[in-house]
Structure 1
Amino acid sequence: MTARVLVVDDIVANVKLLEARLKAEYFEVLTATSGFEALDIAGNSDCDIIILDIMMPGLDGFETCRRLKSNPKTAHIPVVMVTALDQPSDRVTGLEAGADDFLTKPIKDVALLTRVKNLVRVKRLIDELRTRSASRGDTMAQPAVAPVSEAAVTGRVILVDDRPSSYERLKTTLSKRFDVDVHTDPESALFHIADETYDLVIVSLSLRDYDGLRLCSQLQNLEKTRALPIVIISEPENDGKLMRALDMGVSDYLVRPIDANELMARIVTQLRRKLYADQLRESVEQTMEMAIMDGLTGLHNRRYFDTHFKSLTHQAATRGKTLSLVLTDIDFFKSINDTHGHDVGDEVLREFGDRIRRSVRGADLACRYGGEEFVLILPDSDQDAAAAIAERLRARMDHDPIPVAGGQKQLTITISLGVSTIQGPEDTAEAMLKRADEALYKAKRDGRNRVMLAA
């Protein structure tokens, strides 16, 4: 893994030392010796991570971090603050400033590389989610989801540890803020984690007769738990296992003896990042749904229809199954808009969409084709079945006026419908749509408010 790292420290010797360590692992390194210089470089360079010293003259690390996190151009860049976690005030101030992680002086190589690689991996995932959720056409658009504040972080944590003296102390610390479950049997813990809903897993690597990394690997392989942050607890001088855990995708680690402040800081950091990623994923899912849904009627849109109908037609043709298509149009819709206004026209379209939805089966697909045109895809339906569904919809529209303008008016709306059915293994979606369109045109030409079957 490679990435661009910005190292910020007013002591040149410290900068050179970190630069040498990172370059030895093939990271690209940018350097700054002041907070102001760091803000300028971060705003004009594509940085993947910033390692920021706290004690700097002029603009200290806390204020530099605040300004980075308040700037839309740099808010998403992970910031690792170099501090002493035995000073709770530094930790609290760093979290409030928006720091993503901490390194304790003197900085160990394994800690440095673990933090950097983990944060780069997470940043790339979040960058992808941010890109998808950002507004179109604006490369600097902010994501639809704001970063989660430290105060908003909560969650459910499971601790897998079989040493009472260890897990009791850890649970006491974490329970001040989180809902914590303890499991002493790693094999049963795996099934429990898969069945329940947790936000973070803590795994001890000192389990008796069990390799904690195996549990981490199993969690990484299960789809439900793949995105769960995993924090491992290691014994001192166990760098080999730590690096293997990092390569496996473990999120973070703590080394015994565990400082309570560091434990809480790292768990909060992981949960805050998970909450942000979850919200981004939800935003992406909503964006994807919006791309295939019609916002006015709640039906699928033309884009979805074009793709899905081709697939269903191909399947039906190759498997010898029936498939029908109903194309429908609201009669004299332009006069509704001209007479009553577009707001009333929208009410009519919404109600028509609802009536279509109530008229079809669960396996059928209703789409807004464009304007006042709608289309129904009816799998496993021959011409007679499709004609019956179309006639039911026509009759419902003809006999049940649509209330508009807050119920003050009622409009009697009629529709015309054209029905086509697949005609063998050589038939295509385009041909079916053309036949339905011709049938719809004939229904309108022959007086509207009727169902016409394709020849």
Structure 2
Amino acid sequence: MSARILVVDDLAPNRNLLDVKLSADYYDVLTAESGEEALEIASKERLDLILMDAIMPGGMDGFEACRRLKADPALYHIPVIMVTALEETADRIRGLEAGADDFITKPIDDFNLTARVRSLLRLKMTTDQLMSHTGHSAENCRPMLDQIQGRPGRLLLIGDEGGQPAKIDRTLGQTHETTIVTDPVEAIRRAKAGIDLVIVSLVARSFDGLRVCASLRFNNDTADIPILAIGDPDDQPCFIRAFDIGVNDSVMRPVESQELSARVNTLLRRKFYADSLRENFNEDLEMVVSDPLTGLGNRRFFERQVEPLFDTLNLDGTPFSILVFDIDHFKRVNDILGHDMGDQILKEVAARIVTNMRAIDIVSRYGGEEFMIAMPGTSEAEAFQAADRVRSFIAGTPIFVEGQALSITISAGVAQVEQNEQLRGVFRRADSALYQAKREGRNQVAAAASQTVAAA
């Protein structure tokens, strides 16, 4: 589905012109001729961006419409580009105060329109992804987005005096942490050290700004850092090449402070939203493959990690073994001491198992009080010895929980994986050996029968 853009202007020729330009880029365009109509459409339709004329006669101009839109919990996240007259700096300030995300000056040129629209549509897409991934709706995610949006950024300004970095620093340094670098090699090194946004001068006299942009974009350590390019308005081919390289946005000289701040804030919001999305994804991924109580891998983690061991065994015969540990009488422990004490015991047993296994062994909490370990390159006899060492260590050292010294024992089953055997089959054999150990008195290790014997 195409991005949906609402064009708001009281003059039909202006609406029609923007409709034609945006439709040519395959956007789905809606139009409104007043602020009131814009708010009504926004409340009923799914919108990705609004282009709002600042000055409209009648009851509600663009500033008031933007202000009301940004005050609505269901609509505030829709980016707004305010369209202002070229000479009216005061209108830009009013637009930013009303909550506009960016602005375009009249007469509107195609290049600027395309750059602004693409930048804010990317921001909207990232915002939507963040809300969707975290389970937030537009109505309840505002505190989260406001907290992210309010963060100051770490900006790297790359330019010599030809690009007036000192002036840019004065504009942005009051809000953000800024660093000026004139040497391109040093700039690339600095960009790898936790920078949120890079501003590159395309008019620098001592280096090629486009080459710096290309180096940043095609270096793995800096590929995701947003880049804002600053250049001359009459050098449109340079800007086109910059966007082809992967620059995210641009500002033309002479740099106007409100415009620069708006561009920087949009790029930082998108960067911080994307970072938050990535962090949430990584946390969710960790939850998917790890046990939150013990910190060990969980059942899914274990099954993924042992797949290559089966492949290697079937390919060249490299052995590996599976160990299944189970805490003896754990239900009784929970019933007598309570689940909180039971959790502490589980954590301590898990820690002792990990510290007594090799770094290459795959250790997981497979469920409840059961732990499963895969030992690469290990025969059944060697695995049996390792399991008995762990069993002996846990049985011989009390576990202290809330001042109480508790004697905890574990039982274990051991099975060497055989060629062409599936995980389900080897687990069944190891689990049978575990229950044999329990039947014979617990606090001991038993070896599994071979696959052939088990099948019989």
Fold-level match, TM-score > 0.5? yes
Equivalent residue, structure 1, for 2:51:
51
> Residues 6 and 394 from structure 1, CA distance in 2 versus in 1: closer, same or farther, beyond 3 angstroms?
same
Deviation at 1:286, TM superposition (A): 0.9
8 Å CA contact retained: 2:294, 2:347:
yes
CA distance in 2, matches of 1:20, 1:333: 72
Name the residue aligned to 2:31: 31
Distance 2:149 2:123 in 1: 21
Give the drift of 1:349: 2.1
Range with greater deviation from structure 2 (144-153 or 345-354):
144-153
Any idea what the Cα deviations from partners look like across 1:213-251, whole Å, max 9, x if unmatched? 232222221121111111111212222332333343311
Confirm or deny: 8 A CA contact 1:348 1:402 kept in the other structure: yes
Task: Please tell me whether residue 369 in structure 1 is matched to residue 366 in structure 2.
Answer: yes
Pick from 221, 225, 233: which aligns with 2:222?
Answer: 225
Measure, in 1, the Cα distance between the counterparts of 2:285 and 2:75.
26
Once the two structures are overlaid, the 10-residue window that deviates more, 211-220 or 63-72, is 63-72
Aligned to 2:453: none
Q: What is the aligned counterpart of 1:450 among 428, 438, 444?
A: 444
Deviations 1:97-149 (A, max 9, x none): 543322223322211111112222343345444433337xxx87966982245
* Alignment partner, residue 309 of structure 2: 312
Q: Does 1:282 align with 2:279?
A: yes
The aligned amino acid for 2:78 is I
Query: Following the alignment from structure 2 to structure 1, what is the Cα–Cα distance between the partners of residues 432 and 128?
Result: 48
In 2 relative to 1, CA 90–421 (structure 1 residues): closer, same or farther, beyond 3 Å? farther
Deviations 1:349-376 (A, max 9, x none): 2222222232222222221111221111
Q: Does 2:433 match 1:439?
A: yes
Partner of 2:414: 419
Identity score, percent = 43
Do the aligned partners of 1:133 and 1:144 also contact (CA within 8 Å) in 2?
A: no
The equivalent of 2:253 in structure 1 is: 256
CA distance in 2, matches of 1:353, 1:86: 69
Q: Which amino acid aligns with 2:263?
A: R
Which has the higher mean CA deviation after the structures are superposed, 230-239 or 304-313? 304-313
Alpha carbons of 1:154 and 1:257: their partners in 2 closer, same or farther (altered >3 Å)?
same
State the shift of 1:441 in Å.
1.7
Q: Which amino acid aligns with 2:257?
A: A
What do you get for the CA RMSD once the two structures are aligned? Answer: 3.1
Where does residue 170 of structure 1 map in the other structure? 168
> 1:395 maps to which residue?
392
Check conservation: 1:325, 1:377, Cα contact below 8 A: yes
Aligned to 1:206: 203
TM-score (norm 1): 0.87
Count matched residues: 448
1:111-122 alignment, distance < 5 Å: 111-122=112-123
Alpha-carbon distance change, 409 to 196 in structure 1, aligned in 2, over 3 angstroms = closer
Q: 2 CA distance for matches of 1:92 and 1:8? A: 19
Secondary structure of the 2:144 match is coil
Structure 1, unaligned runs of 5 or more: none
| Shift of residue 267, structure 1, vs aligned partner | 1.8
The answer to whether the 8 A contact 2:54-2:82 is kept is yes
- Identify which range, 163-172 or 292-301, moves more after superposition: 163-172
Q: TM-score, normalised by structure 2?
A: 0.87
1:104 and 2:105 equivalent? Answer: yes
**Residues in 2 aligned to 1:95 and 1:108: alpha-carbon distance in whole angstroms:** 21
- Structure 2 counterpart of 1:350: 347
CA distance in 1, matches of 2:54, 2:269: 22
